[in-house]
Amino acid sequence: MAGPEWESLEQCLEKHLPPADLREVKRILYGKETRKLDLPSRAFEAASEGDFELQGYAFEAAEEQLRPPRTVRVGLVQNRTPLPADAPVAKQVTALHRRIESIVEVAAVCGVNIICFQEAWTMPFAFCTREKLPWTEFAESAEDGPTSRFCQKLAKKHNMVVVSPILERDREHGDVLWNTAVVISNSGAVLGKTRKNHIPRVGDFNESTYYMEGNLGHPVFQTQFGRIAVNICYGRHHPLNWLMYSINGAEIIFNPSATIGALSESLWPVEARNAAIANHCFTCAINRVGKEYFPNEFTSGDGKKAHQDFGYFYGSSYVAAPDSSRTPGLSRTRDGLLVAELDLNLCRQVNDIWNFKMTGRYEMYAQELTEAVKPNYSPNVVKE
């Protein structure tokens, strides 16, 4: 596994390959080349001053006679936690709000219409510890908590849809906790929320100590800029999860995550991209950055020695298109903003070419899965 100091795959390729070879390798790795966006110089200046990376790319569709282009700009934000995990809860939240606000300001300069933050962005990813306090104090109401109110102001100020993944406390149902993404309309209203459908139970991912699988299904949000869905973190490992968002009409599926190199880095470039191909939609994979240290040691029950960190969050956020092309990833080591301009007409154009939905045979799988989940199911194995 590459160490934290290793900046990115792209940087390594650019450093060691001649230009002609680099173009061919990128064609094979990333599909059709995405055009670099001509972002304002003041955006790059602000990013440099704020010490975060800024990249911009465009996915283009074929010109049509009856439909004008349906272009939308999305922003993906990856960041580390500015304060140590043992700092007071309120100070950590305030510091993260300020950090995100500065990045959103640059996104607005870049013309971003929809922005998405990383999983549980208002806190350290402390679910590895199995401790309840102080970590459950980061939980907030999705509808009117301080982070949703903060995002409402940003959304209204910048005419921007905001996808805000938080630790939710559901006051109406016994103060239960959920891993939730709140979707704020560009009008400033809370459009709705979705919850994490699949909860990991592997290594230090002790999340079911805090919350269980979501109960809201696969909602798709109709925004002014297109139909969006949010497949939170571990849900990207489950193809049917992506499929249901697509069946419900999602044109862009965000995947806000918090995942570490030792477990998933080899999967990361594949899963969201494959989902974009299989479901004729755009996917946006977002991961946090850095290493977070906790006050008390914890164990994983896997024979490893007690430790105080979860592992290295490797960033590498990217956008993938239904035609198999994708952007380069953001840095593995730095905070960053990735701006991508999408022509949503590409979704239907690729659908018309490959016909995955027409050839999907959903009725066959629905029937077989209905049988497979029954307690007395017998697998269809043909024997001599």
Residue 32 annotated to the active site: no
Q: Please give the pLDDT value at position 9.
A: 86
Annotate 224-254 with b (16+ C-beta within 10 A) or e (fewer): ebbbbbbbbbbbbeeeebbbbbbeeebbbbb
CATH superfamily label, 9-372: Carbon-nitrogen hydrolase (3.60.110.10)
pTM of the prediction?
0.96
> Domain ranges in the chain?
9-372
Q: Please give the pLDDT value at position 301.
A: 76
Q: Please give the pLDDT value at position 6.
A: 80
Residue 119 annotated to the active site: yes
- 53, 193, 196, 281: the catalytic one is 196
- 119, 140, 207, 271: the catalytic one is 119
Distance CA 266, CA 286 (A): 15
Q: Please give the pLDDT value at position 3.
A: 60
- 110, 128, 151, 233: the catalytic one is 233
Please report, for residues 41, 112, 145, 164, 326, the alpha-carbon distance to residue 105 in angstroms, rounded to integers and kept in the order given: 14, 10, 22, 16, 25
Distance CA 315, CA 327 (A): 14
| The pairing of beta strand 282-286 with beta strand 336-343 | unpaired
pLDDT tens, residue order, the chain (384 aa): 456 668 888 888 999 999 999 999 999 989 999 999 999 999 999 999 999 999 999 999 999 999 999 999 999 999 999 999 999 999 999 999 999 999 999 999 999 999 999 999 999 999 999 999 999 999 999 999 999 999 999 999 999 999 999 999 999 999 999 999 999 999 999 999 999 999 998 888 889 999 999 999 999 999 999 999 999 999 999 999 999 999 999 999 999 999 998 789 999 999 999 999 999 999 999 999 999 999 999 988 778 899 999 899 999 999 999 999 999 999 999 999 999 999 999 999 999 999 999 999 999 999 999 999 999 999 999 999
Distance CA 95, CA 89 (A): 10
Q: Please give the pLDDT value at position 325.
A: 97
Q: Please give the pLDDT value at position 204.
A: 86
Q: Please give the pLDDT value at position 302.
A: 75
Q: Please report how many Cα atoms fall inside a 13 Å half-sphere around the Cα of residue 330, on the Cβ side.
A: 30
> pLDDT tens for residues 179-218?
999 999 999 999 999 999 999 988 888 899 999 999 999 9
> pLDDT tens for residues 31-46?
999 999 999 999 999 9
Distance CA 280, CA 274 (A): 10
> pLDDT tens for residues 114-161?
999 999 999 999 999 999 999 999 999 999 999 999 999 999 999 999
Candidates 217, 219, 215; CA nearest to 183 is 219
